A and B are shown apart, each in its own frame.
Chain A
Amino acid sequence: MNGSLARALALGRAHASLSVTASPADVAEALDGRLLGCGRVEEVARYGVQQAFGRGNLCVVDAESRAVIRIETENEYLMAMVDGEPVVSTPDLVCVLDRRTLQPIAVDTIRTGDEVLVLALPGPEWWRHDERLGHVGPRAFGLTCDPLLLEAS
């Protein structure tokens, strides 16, 4: 896929140059993403191994607006809902960063009580093609929901 590596490097550099005191909005802007919320992880539910690996969900309450953010997971973050309304899904990226260190937290290490930033970053343009979208959209992961994509930036 053309440009993947370049994008990864650019993102890595932007992330590395962030100061730990940067505000959530600054972080979202620097990483060219959308801020979904910032607050405490209220619950992490893992469904166990009967279903797909890492399947579960977590719920974050935004410290400021008290909005309830729910993220469906399966090894990666698949879909995010704000106040019960799905807002972003694969193939776009949902990222969870530690509030203090701004380090990304993976699905298998996130815990109840973590203070986090929830960001959405646009996924690769290539997957947005109608023919490929079916393979990476939420339905491919068992979530009966149409893909919800950020505006291409």
Chain B
Amino acid sequence: MTGLAPTLAAMLASPGWRDVVVLGGAQEPGPELVGSRVLMDVAGHPSAMAGELLVVLLASDHTDWRIDALISRASAAGAAAVLFAGVEPLGRGAQLLADRLQLPVLGSPDPLAAHEYLNSVTAEPDVVRAALVLKAVTALRRTEAGLESVLSTTSAVLDRPVTLAGSDGGTLAGEPLEGSERADLVAALPAVPVAWAAPYRVDLPSGAVLIAVSVLGAGPACWLVARLPGVVPAEVAAVPAVLTVVAPAVGQRLALRRLELERDARQRTSLLGELLHGEPSEATRRRAVDLGWQLDGWHTGIRIGADGQVDVAGRRTDVVEAFDAEGLQAVVVEQGDGWSAWITAFSEPTANEVQEQAAAIRRVQRRLVQTVDAYVGVGRVQPGPSGIATTLAEAGDAAGLARGRPETGRFLHVDRLGLAQLLLAWTRTDTFQPAARALLAPIEGQPGDLVTTLTVYLDTESSLAETAAVLGIHRNTVSARITKIQQLLAVDLTNPNERLALHLACRTTRD
């Protein structure tokens, strides 16, 4: 039974003892309380005890001499602490006596409730657990749809702060964790949670305990974390059970939120797709207005690519926030493995404004780089609805180039200088040429002049018939060579980025 004994400090921080105060003999963390015994009034004589709390139900005057006498008797009987009815301060003598005997003296307006709570956590931990779980289930049934309300309901049931934390310990919802506690939590949790994993218990140096249960739902893994300021063993056993009950409800709220996010993303992406295919129809314009997109005016396209596994729909908010933080009103659309964005001005921007805008976009990238491995291309300013497609196409090409250019901070702005000239200028640099040769090395010297075939094939916009005509060979030969090239280079010629790189490399090596 002693394994269930909480320290006095932990009990004072627990929900059932909210109204218990220390009147004298304070100690940190205080003795362990193995149970609770009741004495009717201050004139009573306690029987021998072994580390229990002595609860005195009637104590009308805290300055009475019998309080001093009882403190003395309780200490002699072996009580771990004394709790009197009422919270009025003790007389000076009683306080000095409590300090001298090292006996914590507590007060509570409801001593019987304090007695019962201590007895239940020390003697009936299963009852405490069952009661908390039932309370959580009942409360969850009445809770509203939002994620925040699920967390606040859980927090109210446990009477403890509850947080939804990402795998990096960052707060997704609820009350945020302190920095050092966050680090301790992340260190203790596995990177990839397992569905059947038991709840994690993290003991902090401060004596507080974090209980973490993984929430498995759509999107990245996250953790439902409750913070207990002290170890009351019955509570530490009950909280994981409650969190395990709550976790699916949190997962469901997250999945719903995700669904909404994805739906919006799909709507934006499809509308952008329509805009990119020529002059928009009346219906497309109407939908654009619904989403708050300005089609007329002068547009600057921005393409933000991201390396690695990135949750494009989920991270869109970060991108929008980064633009907002730099004072740029950008439309951001999830597209492929990154985002397409554009900024609209009502009149044609001057060269200076363009430069300033480019600098601001660069700062946006710097903000994003902290969390996403982003590379950015910026197109030229283009007018009208069809300008969106043009400037975004330029931005896309620029981003493809920017990706391989760490020396410019993976940022490329296609300004008045045309994209073609920019590319050409770049292919003549010393950094690119060896890279280009290395890229084509596997097909260099192979039978059938594969480099020339590839160059012509790419120049003729991937047309087998045209290539055959230019080289004066049979179409099937071209087809066989292209297949071989793809095998040797291990590339996919339908991927625009890889095609662009090969195309440039071919240009360079042939010159």
Contact = CB atoms under 8 A, between A and B. Distances in A.
A81 B91 contact: no
Interface stretch (B66-74, B258-266, B319-327): B66-74
30 contacts: A42-B93, A42-B96, A45-B91, A45-B92, A57-B63, A57-B65, A57-B91, A59-B91, A59-B93, A59-B96, A66-B100, A67-B100, A68-B68, A68-B96, A68-B97, A68-B100, A70-B65, A70-B68, A70-B97, A79-B65, A81-B65, A84-B68, A84-B70, A84-B72, A84-B73, A84-B101, A86-B65, A143-B65, A144-B43, A144-B66
A85 B72 contact: yes
B68 A81 contact: yes
Contacts of A57: 63, 65, 91, 93
A74 interface: no
Interface residues of A, number: 19
Contacts of B65: 57, 70, 72, 79, 81, 86, 143
A84 B71 CA distance: 7
Contacts of A61: 96
Interface in B29-69: 43, 63, 65-66, 68-69
In this complex, the interface size class of chain B, counting residues with CB under 8 Å from chain A, is 10 to 19
A83 B72 CA distance: 7
B63 A45 contact: yes
B63 A84 contact: no
B81 to A, nearest CB: 15
Nearest to B68: A84
Nearest to A43: B92
Interface of B: 43, 63, 65-66, 68-73, 75, 91-93, 96-97, 100-101
Contacts of B66: 144
Contacts of A45: 63, 91-92
Contacts of B101: 83-84
B92 A59 contact: yes
Contacts of B63: 45, 57
The 10 A-B residue pairs with the shortest CB-CB distance in the complex, in nearest-first order? A84-B72, A59-B93, A43-B92, A70-B93, A84-B68, A68-B97, A68-B96, A84-B97, A85-B72, A84-B69
A86 B67 CA distance: 12
Contacts of B70: 84
Contacts of A66: 100
Interface of A: 42-43, 45, 57, 59, 61, 66-68, 70, 72, 79, 81, 83-86, 143-144
Nearest to A47: B63
Contacts of A42: 92-93, 96
Contacts of A72: 65
A64 to B, nearest CB: 13
A81 B101 CA distance: 15
Contacts of A59: 91-93, 96
B479 to A, nearest CB: 102
A81 B91 CA distance: 14
Contacts of A81: 65, 68-69, 72
A67 B69 CA distance: 14
B91 A85 contact: no
Nearest to B93: A59
A131 B100 CA distance: 39
Nearest to A57: B65
A42 B96 CA distance: 9
A57 B62 CA distance: 13
A68 B69 CA distance: 12
B58 to A, nearest CB: 13
Nearest to B43: A144
Contacts of A68: 68, 93, 96-97, 100
Nearest to A42: B92
Nearest to A78: B65
B93 A86 contact: no
Nearest to B72: A84
Which of A45, A68, A143 gathers most chain B CB within 10 Å?
A: A68
Given A59-B93, A68-B97, A68-B100, 8 more contacts: A43-B91, A43-B93, A45-B63, A57-B93, A68-B96, A70-B65, A81-B68, A83-B101
B401 to A, nearest CB: 83
A81 B341 CA distance: 84
A66 B66 CA distance: 20
Nearest to B74: A84
A72 B101 CA distance: 21
B97 A83 contact: yes
Nearest to B61: A47
A79 B65 CA distance: 10
B24 to A, nearest CB: 11
B107 to A, nearest CB: 17
A146 to B, nearest CB: 12
Contacts of B93: 42-43, 57, 59, 68, 70
A72 B69 CA distance: 12
B92 A83 contact: no
Nearest to A44: B92
A83 to B, nearest CB: 6
Which of A43, A45, A83, A84 gathers most chain B CB within 10 Å?
A: A84
A86 B186 CA distance: 58
Contacts of A67: 100
B62 to A, nearest CB: 11
A138 to B, nearest CB: 10
A85 B71 CA distance: 9
Nearest to B91: A45
A98 to B, nearest CB: 21
Which of B66, B73, B75, B96 gathers most chain A CB within 10 Å?
A: B96
Contacts of A84: 68-73, 75, 97, 101
A66 B101 CA distance: 11
A42 B94 CA distance: 11
